Structure formats: structure tokens, C-alpha cells
Structure 1
């Protein structure tokens, strides 16, 4: 299996397909597997899927988690593989990292697909009573937990520590000013499920804050839309990326 040294850890990654480079950024407490079905549905692109420290097959690193560290790790991964600029497709925590990367290093992002991300924590950011709206179906939560147990080099017993640090990050980060999004000039697609954990108004705020950004709401899906409707999500992402090239 391929690994690459990234800021003090040996980070797992895989590459699917050939063509223009795309980097997939997975969600919190997830692995590259959460976007596997989606990556296999893209045609004409080389999808690079790194796993962050404490996620998937990448060992953990001491200290708190921060989205800015995710940006630093992603850039280090790109530099090591010689990827000067890529299309970025981020899901959940990966969407937040992708947005921060695009803001701080716009020359490295040819485009951005921002799936189910948020600009800040807060009760008004999240859909009320998410358990009634499928924020994460129990079957998907169980699947993610089983994947952690089977993939983590730190062992199943490390999961509680990882979750504790992730939840602290969720409670305090990100802190992105909507006005800062006006600086983005690359093509951006904002996507969410119609029953997403992220409130529709917040997703609309992100879309309207980015010049010429497009919006896609996938019906019949929760926060885990990348797994629930990979055919539909893949069709939308494929069309968006192909449209940039045409």
C-alpha cells in the first residue's frame, strides 16, 4: 500500500484513474473509504485520496486537531507527489479543509467541490433535531466505526481519544468570515443533502458568498450523501469538472 511522509507521519493514500489530478479530502473520523464509491465513478481524472493523521490507515499524531493542520498536510502531500495544482473535492471536515486551502493558497486549487461543510460552529449552523432528518443514519455511523477498528494502525482502543479531539475541533472551528469568500476566483460547486446535518440556510450562505458558485442539493440524502447516492453525486461532480475543461 502507498504511504508518503507528511509532517511527521507516514500517511496512507491511493490513486484511482488517470487524467487531471483531483484530491479527495474525507470527513472527520472517516477514511478514504467514505468517498471510494464516488472516486470510482469519476472518468478522466486521477483521484488522489490521502488519509489524515488518526484517520483510516494513517497513524495518529500527538496534539489537538485543527483544520489549518489539514491544509498544511494536504499541501505537503501535494508537494511530495509533485502536484502543483489540483481540483479539490472535500466532504464534511474535508470540505472545510478544502475551502481554507482555496482561500490561503488559491494557486493550488483549480476548482473546489465543497460537500456538506460549514463556516463556523453554532446551533444555527446545524439542522434542528438532526436525528429526525438523517444527519448520519445509525447504519452509516456503525459502518464508519467498524472501518476505524479495521483500518487504524493505532488499534480500536484509540477511537475514543480521536473522537474526543475531533469533537473539540467541531466545537471551536472553523472560523471563516463569509466576506472572505468573495476573494475566491476558481470555479466552486457547493453541495449538500436535502436532509443534511448542515442547515440549508448555512449552505445557501456559503454559495451566495462565493462569486459565481454553483449549488447542488441532492434529494433523499443525509450528511452521508457521498455514500447514499454515489451515482447522483458522481454525475454532478463529473459534470462540474468536465464543464471547467470544456
Structure 2
């Protein structure tokens, strides 16, 4: 546990366990506390790496807006800083989008990808679906994340509203991933979401169907916060997939 200098900022990092490397990428307005279930499931057999992006958890915020390109750049810099040429990537929400972009544009760095509640474009949250984004922000779980933010952030509790406003602007404007481009992803992929997710099951199906050989898992009785709602099930599914992907490596 500690901080690493990534680009022009100090980002909080945790490393635990031994074995094949796994990189955890948290969601927007989350900290690493939201990834404890997959971390706990993976640590017995894997070396698990994780860091908190700017404005999240224990990492201070940055000036200006957020963007997925910056998230990818920070992730690549983190892999370099910890000496990893590649890792199995487990991403949730914003972290899953970053994982998809990594697999598309930097395939040599990704051994496998678990993408939990990812979306390809803002249409999930905009236009006629705009109330969905409001629901995502107002669902009970963000209250938990706000308490975590207030407890962990070096920027102080009041800065949570600044971070959340920047995230909403991000979610309304990015990402822009063409489903046809996903056919270029050649590593094992597990696409996961909840059956009551703010990401419609059909959108998760589109992602999985666009990636050759990808697996799809819709977790019953869960929302966008499926990792917290069914931690043992989600952790077991991720562990089984990553172990299978590791055995299939050349």
C-alpha cells in the first residue's frame, strides 16, 4: 500500500498475493473498497494490483475534466511503474470501459479482460434514456460511495460534488466505441452486468456478441452495483474466468 508517481500525480496503489498478475480498475465515483470482492477472490492464486484514479478514493483530484483517454494513459503508466508487461484486467463500470480501450489499442498489455457493466457510448444515458443516468447517480449505493469518499479523499468531503459533476459530464459525452471495432479483441473476455443494471442487458449482449469468443454473464437480481450486491457470486465467477484464461495462455 502506498502512492506511486504516475505522470504528474501521485496515485494510491495496493498490491497483494502471488501468482499471475491481475489489474483491478474501479468504477467512477468509487474507490478500491468497491473492488474488495474480486480482490479477495483473486488474491489466493494471483498477484493483484490496483490503483485509484485521480479524484477517487485516496488519490487527489486534478484540474480540468476527466476522460477515458487519460484513464488509459494512467493505466499504462501504472503497469510500467509496477513492472508489468501485461496482466489480466478486471474492470468495473468506468474501469471496464478503460479495459475495453486497453484491449483494443494496447492488446499486448492485456492477458484477459473481465468487463463489468461497461457501455460503448453515451446513448445508454442520454436522449430518451437520460433518466437512467439520474437513476445511476441517485441509487442507494452512491450514498455508500459518498461516505467512502468523505472518509478517504485528501481533497475533503465537500469536493465530492465537484468530482461527481465532472463524472456526469464524462458519462454524457464519452465513450465512443464502435461495436465493429471490438472484433479486433483477441484475448479471452467475460462481459458481466446485472439484470436490473442501468446498462441494459441488450447492451451487454451487444458487447459480448461483438468480441470473438467472449462470454456473457447477466447476474440475476442485481443492479449496476452487482459487485457489492452479490460479492461472493461475482468474485467466484471472476476467479473461475481468470483461472481459465490463464490456463489457455500460450
TM-score, normalised to structure 2, is: 0.92
**Distance in 1 between the 2:137 and 2:63 partners?**
28
In structure 1, the residue matched to 2:28 is 28
Alpha-carbon distance in structure 2 between the residues aligned to 1:167 and 1:227: 21
Q: Deviations over 1:109-150 (max 9, x none)?
A: 00100000000011478979659xx85784422110000011
Task: Report if the CA contact (8 A) 1:16-1:40 is conserved.
Answer: no
Distance 1:123 1:238, change over 3 A: closer
- Could you tell me whether the CA contact under 8 Å between 2:114 and 2:189 is conserved in 1? yes
State the aligned residue count: 244
Segments of structure 1 that go 5 or more residues without pairing to the other structure are none
Contact 1:113 1:189 in 2 (8 A): yes
Please list every run of at least 4 consecutive aligned residues from structure 1 whose deviation after the TM superposition is greater than 6 angstroms.
124-129
1:36 offset after TM fit, Å? 1.0
* Counterparts of residues 179-190 of structure 1 (less than 5 Å): 179-190=180-191
In the other structure, the counterpart of 2:154 is 153
Partner of 2:176 in structure 1? 175
- Sort the Cα spacing of 1:152 and 1:124 in 2 relative to 1 into closer, same or farther, 3 A: closer
Q: 2:141 & 2:119 partners in 1: Cα distance?
A: 21
Deviation at 1:18, TM superposition (A): 1.4
Aligned twin of 2:227: 226
Q: Distance in 2 between matches of 1:241 and 1:97?
A: 18
TM-score normalized with structure 1 length: 0.94
Structure 2 unmatched runs, 5+: none
Q: Give secondary structure in 2 for the equivalent of 1:113.
A: strand
CA distance in 2, matches of 1:30, 1:107: 27
Partner of 2:7: 7
Kept after mapping to 1: 8 A contact 2:93/2:117: yes
Q: Counterpart in 2 of 1:206?
A: 207
SS at match of 1:100: helix
- Give yes or no for contact 1:193–1:218 (8 Å, CA) kept in 2: yes
Alpha carbons 1:127, 1:198 under 8 Å: kept: no
